[in-house]
Structure 1
Amino acid sequence: MPFFIIAGAVNAFLAVALGAFGAHALKEKLSEKYLAIWETAVQYQMFHAVALLVIGVLLSTSLLGPVSSLNWAGYLLLAGIIIFSGSLYVLSLTGIGVLGAITPIGGVAFLAGWVMLIVAVVKHTN
């Protein structure tokens, strides 16, 4: 099953839906500060949803083959979406500032996922 293609498509769908929700339903309910935080969450979710799609395609073709680094990259990017974007969505809706301390954990997961993608490509080219 192409897990990362499905995960990427689901997250892209959610990013579009949550972006529209923020632009229409939350525009009058959130302050500019929290609306900007919401938009950041949507942007990062979409960027990394596309990356999940790419990883899924790379895993399902013979381009790089079954490289464990690609699996790690995908899982780390998915964790980053959940932790980074998820914490920002909740922060925007609740105003609970301590959630901002969780967000960098998701950012680190994003960074580690990108590094693992680089590792997968370097391993394949050597």
Structure 2
Amino acid sequence: MRELRPWMAAAAVVGFLAVGFGAFAAHGITDPKAKEWMHTGANYAIVHGLGVFAAAFAVSQGARGARLVPPLFLAGVAIFSGSLFAMALGGPRWLGAITPIGGTLFLVGWAALAVALMRKSRF
């Protein structure tokens, strides 16, 4: 479990940032499109931050393959949510072209978690 501690700490930071970006979207952004990007990024960040904790729990219960999930989810947050946050804050629109890479990392992470849990004989 000790090797998962940095991933869990990173997930807590993601949760903190997701709440902050979500609050900023609600109270500090007036452009509707930017507000939508910020909310979407915050929602996906919080869900996948919590997913890191779920994966850590699965690892602690012996689902060793779930060790792949935290880096996949956190990279997904950085790319998916990060690109949306950047665009909402005035970054170039071409960043939208990399957003699906983050989404793909989320999908791979969920698939890896499912496989790891299916391979685990019992909890």
TM-score by length of structure 2 reads 0.88
Runs of at least 5 residues in structure 1 that lack an aligned partner in the other structure:
none
Q: What is the RMSD computed on CA atoms of the aligned residues? A: 1.6
Maintained 8 Å contact 1:76/1:113: yes
Q: Residue 7 of structure 2 corresponds to which residue in structure 1?
A: 4
Q: Report deviation, 1:95.
A: 5.0
Maintained 8 Å contact 1:84/1:105: yes
Equivalent position to 1:72, from 58, 68, 71: 68
Q: For the residues of structure 1 that align with 2:75 and 2:112, how far apart are their CA atoms?
A: 14
Task: Determine if the alignment matches structure 1 residue 100 to structure 2 residue 96.
Answer: yes
Equivalent position to 2:25, from 9, 15, 22: 22
TM-score by length of structure 1 reads 0.86
Q: Residue 48 of structure 2 corresponds to which residue in structure 1?
A: 48
Q: Residue 106 of structure 2 corresponds to which residue in structure 1?
A: 110
Secondary structure of the equivalent of 2:53? helix
Q: Deviations over 1:18-74 (max 9, x none)?
A: 111222222x3xx10111111000000001011011112233x3x225x1x212111
Runs of at least 5 residues in structure 2 that lack an aligned partner in the other structure:
none
Maintained 8 Å contact 2:38/2:84: yes
Q: For the residues of structure 1 that align with 2:70 and 2:115, how far apart are their CA atoms?
A: 13
| Structure 1 residue runs of 4 or more that deviate by more than 3 Å after TM superposition | none
Q: For the residues of structure 1 that align with 2:54 and 2:10, how far apart are their CA atoms?
A: 11
Task: Determine if the alignment matches structure 1 residue 122 to structure 2 residue 122.
Answer: no
Q: Which amino acid aligns with 2:95?
A: L
